[in-house]
Amino acid sequence: KEVLFLPWAALGAMAMAARLCVAKGGRGFRQLPRVGMMRAPSSRGMALHWRHGGTPSGAGLGGNRSPDVLLQDLKSIFTKQGVTCLSSLSANWFAAADENVSKGLDPAEFKDTMAGVGLSLSDTEAAGLFEHFDADKSGIITYGEFAKGLMGQMPEFSASLAFMHQYTGHFPSSQAMIRSTRPSFDPEETEEWKESLEAVVQHHGKTRARFLLHELMEEAGRLGVYISQPVVTPMVNSIPASAEPEYPGDRALEDRISNIIRWNAAVMVSDSNRRGGGVGGHIGTFASICDVIEVGMNHFFRGKDYGHGRGDSIWMQGHASPGAYSRAFLEGRLGVEEVMNFRREADGKGISSYPHPRLMPHFWENPTVSMGLGPLGSVYQARFFRYLHLRGLADTSQSRVWAFVGDGEMDEPESITAISVAGREKLNNMIFIVNCNYQRLDGPVRGNSKVVQEYEGTFRGAGFDVIKLVWGEKFCELINADHDGKLIEALEQTPDGDCQRLHAKADGALVRKDIFEKHGLLDRVAHWTDAELLEAFQTPGGHDHKKIYAAMSQAQKNAEMGGRPTVILVKTLKGYSLQTFLGRNTVHQKKMMSDSDMQAYRDAMDIPLSDEQLKTPDAQNLFLLKEDSPEVKYLKEKRKGLGGFLPLRDPAKVSALVELPSHETYAAFDEGSKGREISTTMNFAAILRKMMQAGEFGQRVTLMVTDESRTFGIDAFFPIFKIHAPFGQNYTPVDADQVMKYAEAPNGQILQEGISEGGAIMTWIASATSYSSQQAPTLPFLIYYSMFGFQRVGDSIWQAADMRARGFLIGATYGRTTLNGEGLQHQDGHSLLIALTCPAVKGYDPAFGYEMGLIIENGVKEMWGEDRDVIYYITAYNENMVMPAKPEGVDEGIIKGLYKFQDAKAAEHTVRLIGSGSIMKQALDAVDMLAEFGVGAEIWSATSYGELHRDAVECDRLARLGGEVKKSWVEECLGDGTVTVAVSDNMTAYPKLIDPWVGGQFTVLGADGFGRSDTRENLRRFFEIDKENVVVAALEGLAKEGKISPDVPKQAREKYGLVSERKDICMEIVS
């Protein structure tokens, strides 16, 4: 065969770029017809812009445009205005639809709504466009019809072809059959295309063929021929040099600033450890990502005063935190004393190890160092920003979320879940930056493969736009000269483990041997010395400011005009510019530099310090610039132009913004349930409903559910408050004809998280911190199966506390015996104990409806009335009982954790019974049974053993250290020596928290061990927390104090059939 191949460069910007001409067997190969005009050389960059969601057309106005033209104009408006336009449209649409009770718009309303989003229509145009959207010809356009009409239908042929292609390659044996079923318009031409491809592979190699096919697919997209993109592309930069924008900054000055920041960050960590104390720290991570962060800080990351939102949300790699401190030091936001006390915080003068808002409330916003939680939290933050906007609570149209993620961190399940959610939700305001330095804590991330290629497939498959930033400018010279693709093949075949080794060895001759000689490519680098080759190899894309800017610029365009999230996969070197650190498996643990390390690093960074100065680990090793130095003036000017310094936490004073509802909102059960049996879960639902209907305050109450609304009795909320769905409800629900139908809307208030506690808690955190992130306070309630709260997402709740979250966690279906049928995995009796381990969480276990109401009211007062950064965890049970009226004077005790509910009747002996939650009924039922033995019983309600414990411990501490001496609330209530029995559906360890401060005999009955399925009566007998066991425990206490004969409790045991033997599946040996 004679092959005539026209190189891409020669074709320039031709619309049909791949025109393969092959002469074969005396028959001329016909040339395919042109389908486009020549474009200017800059069209490659413009094409990139278009395929990421932009549009070259505008929204024209006229008097007699066709529906097709009007549709394009409308789409252009949406493209330009983005979420702002969607929010406006949704608000106008539903306002009009609700007004006419039709859930849709008539022709006049439709015309007015279109005008509201910027599309002015003549009467003729309005009629034509209305007819297009009114699919069922009912004379009313529903929001679903509008959304579907705007999106358009996929042509039947394209749909069938896409369906066929999704299996291609997975079942080789069926390829012939699949091909035979495809439409064949011109078999001869099809064969010629295939032969052309074979010829390219034969004469120019597989890599060249891949490039051609990728270019054809891109060109097809530009021509409106949409086919599924491949998930992995050649290992080159996604943005070629020809499409890179001009760099807008002073490269030399920015390089200088980066070097100073990198130096101070390393010295901060090293000297802190050289001074002793073993405080730890990390140098290598920031050294790898410094250049990317600095380009972002100088040109992209928006501060709080940028406008149209409270700036960008930056989720920095936790191990890179010294870099943020180093920049803030140059900016003058941190002083020498603070930087010198890195990781020395006990005296209040130092700075925290990682991003911790709890410790540095005016600096950090987003904790990230618990691996995986940063990526997941950032995605749900971006999603919640959109929620705020669509509900009209805040303008977040110019706020993006940038998440820095380590390549090793991508192993976390939360990281993979995060990208799936971002893609599914089409979060164009979400930008991931994966720091691909090939190393995790112990060694290589993927020593035997290519992590950049792997993650490209993962992200693209999830729906991301992937931007690969692999090679620096110098090495790209070799890539650009790779006429046959063999160099790219060689690089793709070099495992990451070998790349890491070559970077660590820093030997140009070794790079030449192991990459170029090994693959027969020595001629490609014959013009370079070993030193020149090494310099190019040791400066990947993540350390080239111009290429970083190009990647981030494209990501920013995507966020503004695209319809999906973006990831930048950036190749960096861990420990970059510290040659004794770079690429070593130990680099993550290296936290001190030797004298020689510091001297070499000083020289590399061009820091004017003497050898003598470097010997002493004190403040003189920090390089501090003068206020009027060019570097300081430059970086401050750049940050001013972008809206202010970052990171920065700037919370709203909620107490001054939102008027809180009156007590009546929470008082539905102050008079009891009036004979009606009801559970505390239903108590909660009734109170929450009134809160959500409380005017402006109610609009800011957010409800998250994890697919259990019907279990918790809040499915009635669906048609009233609607489920949030950013793209509307484009289907008719099966229960559409029912009152409690499943209703979704862009401005829906309820966040239905599906079966995902991990996702739900992240949404809850985003809402609980919106008072800070966007100064748009929302009050979140997350209701869930209690067992799947602290036990499953405890790490995330700890993160929430660090972020100074404010909100309510409702542990529904609580109780080891109350949730009786579900068994071992569901029955929770220990979450209150776990909740106590988090200092910012207040755990409550209410028994009655009025307790639930007062606890929620007090939580709202603390969070929004007093601006306290606290979390309330409240249990809710599913057992019905008649709710009593609230006694007088019990409010203080309910909040402190304990109060007397009922006095004892006159009797020879008196005991005290303490009940909690649904087991309160067992204590109440025991009163009459004890009376048969001549014993009276007080009834106390313990709403929070955890808060009682904290109060008692603090009182003891003050007394021990010479402070104010006062009795704890436990001692005031229970310190009189009365026999006391506490019974609850919790583990016994929870009530025993107050044991040291209870006077007299104190017996705790609780549900220890694994749960199991049975009736409530049988389970309570098994766990020994029923009324009979309460009676026996009280009598035993009196007997131990010598007030009654030991025969009395013995008689009671016999009467009630209580025995000491019990099969315990925890301890048994299975033979």
In tens, the pLDDT along 695-709 reads 999 999 999 999 888
pLDDT of residue 160: 28
pLDDT tier, 58 (very low <50, low <70, confident <90, very high otherwise): very low
For residue 265, which phi and psi values (nearest 5 degrees)?
A: -65, -45
Under 8 Å between Cβ of 151 and 132: no
Question: Is 172's pLDDT higher than 50?
Answer: no
Q: Is 889 helix (H, G, I), strand (E, B) or coil?
A: coil
Question: Is 854's pLDDT higher than 80?
Answer: yes
Question: Is 258's pLDDT higher than 90?
Answer: yes
- 277-281, 417-421, 984-988, 1064-1068: the lowest-pLDDT one: 1064-1068
Section 174-198 average pLDDT: 68
Question: Is 433's pLDDT higher than 50?
Answer: yes
Question: Is 157's pLDDT higher than 80?
Answer: no
pLDDT tier, 36 (very low <50, low <70, confident <90, very high otherwise): very low
pLDDT of residue 354: 94
Count CA within 13 A, CB hemisphere, residue 25. 2
- 15-29, 488-502, 585-599, 972-986: the lowest-pLDDT one: 15-29
pLDDT of residue 40: 33
pLDDT of residue 25: 35
Nearest Cα neighbor of 751 from 714, 785, 788 is 714
pLDDT of residue 670: 96
Handedness of CA 220, 460, 48, 57 (dihedral sign): positive
Question: How far out from the chain centre does Cα 1055 lie?
Answer: 57
Section 834-861 average pLDDT: 98
Under 8 Å between Cβ of 1023 and 817: yes
Higher pLDDT pick, 241 / 165: 241
Higher pLDDT pick, 187 / 473: 473
Section 536-543 average pLDDT: 97
pLDDT of residue 537: 97
pLDDT of residue 183: 52
Mean pLDDT computed over every residue of the chain: 87
| pLDDT digits 0-9 by tens, 644-685 | 999 999 999 999 999 999 999 999 999 999 999 999 999 999
| pLDDT digits 0-9 by tens, 371-410 | 999 999 999 999 999 999 999 999 999 999 999 999 999 9
- 33-42, 515-524, 611-620, 789-798: the lowest-pLDDT one: 33-42
Count CA within 13 A, CB hemisphere, residue 508. 13
Question: Is 87's pLDDT higher than 70?
Answer: no
Distance CA 666, CA 855 (A): 9
Section 781-793 average pLDDT: 92
pLDDT tier, 91 (very low <50, low <70, confident <90, very high otherwise): low
For 968, other C-beta atoms within 10 Å of its C-beta total 23
Under 8 Å between Cβ of 429 and 400: yes
What does the DSSP 8-state code read for residue 935?
A: E
Question: Is 30's pLDDT higher than 70?
Answer: no
pLDDT tier, 27 (very low <50, low <70, confident <90, very high otherwise): very low
| pLDDT digits 0-9 by tens, 923-938 | 999 999 999 999 999 9
pLDDT of residue 729: 94
pLDDT of residue 99: 64
Contacts of 126 (CB under 8 A, 6+ apart): 107, 110, 111, 114
pLDDT of residue 484: 85
What is the spatial order of strands in the sheet that 898-902 belongs to?
A: 898-902, 935-942, 909-915, 980-983, 1002-1005
- 98-112, 225-239, 259-273: the lowest-pLDDT one: 98-112
Q: Is 379 helix (H, G, I), strand (E, B) or coil?
A: helix
pLDDT of residue 37: 30
Contacts of 534 (CB under 8 A, 6+ apart): 506, 507, 508, 511
Section 206-213 average pLDDT: 83
Distance CA 1055, CA 1035 (A): 13
pLDDT of residue 389: 94
pLDDT of residue 101: 55
Under 8 Å between Cβ of 556 and 300: yes
| pLDDT digits 0-9 by tens, 715-759 | 999 999 999 999 999 999 999 998 889 999 999 999 999 899 999
pLDDT of residue 78: 72
Helix, strand, coil in percent for the chain, rounding step 5: 45, 10, 40
Section 134-162 average pLDDT: 61
Percent of the residues in the chain that have a pLDDT greater than 70, as a whole number? 87
Q: What angle do CA 805, 810, 811 make, to 5 degrees?
A: 120
| pLDDT digits 0-9 by tens, 1002-1041 | 999 999 999 989 999 999 999 999 999 999 999 999 999 9
Residue by residue, DSSP assigns 177-210 as HHHHHS--S-HHHHHHHHHHHHHHHHHH-HHHHH
Higher pLDDT pick, 1062 / 702: 702
Question: Is 640's pLDDT higher than 90?
Answer: yes
Question: Is 176's pLDDT higher than 80?
Answer: no
Question: Is 169's pLDDT higher than 50?
Answer: no
Question: Is 1043's pLDDT higher than 60?
Answer: yes
What HEC string does 92-152 produce?
HHHHHHHHHCCCEECHHHHHHHHHHCCCCCCHHHHHHHHHHHCCCCCCCEEHHHHHHHHHC
pLDDT of residue 339: 94
pLDDT of residue 32: 32
- 103-107, 163-167, 808-812: the lowest-pLDDT one: 163-167
pLDDT tier, 974 (very low <50, low <70, confident <90, very high otherwise): very high
pLDDT of residue 143: 64
Question: Is 42's pLDDT higher than 80?
Answer: no
| pLDDT digits 0-9 by tens, 579-606 | 888 888 888 888 999 999 999 999 999 9
pLDDT of residue 7: 31
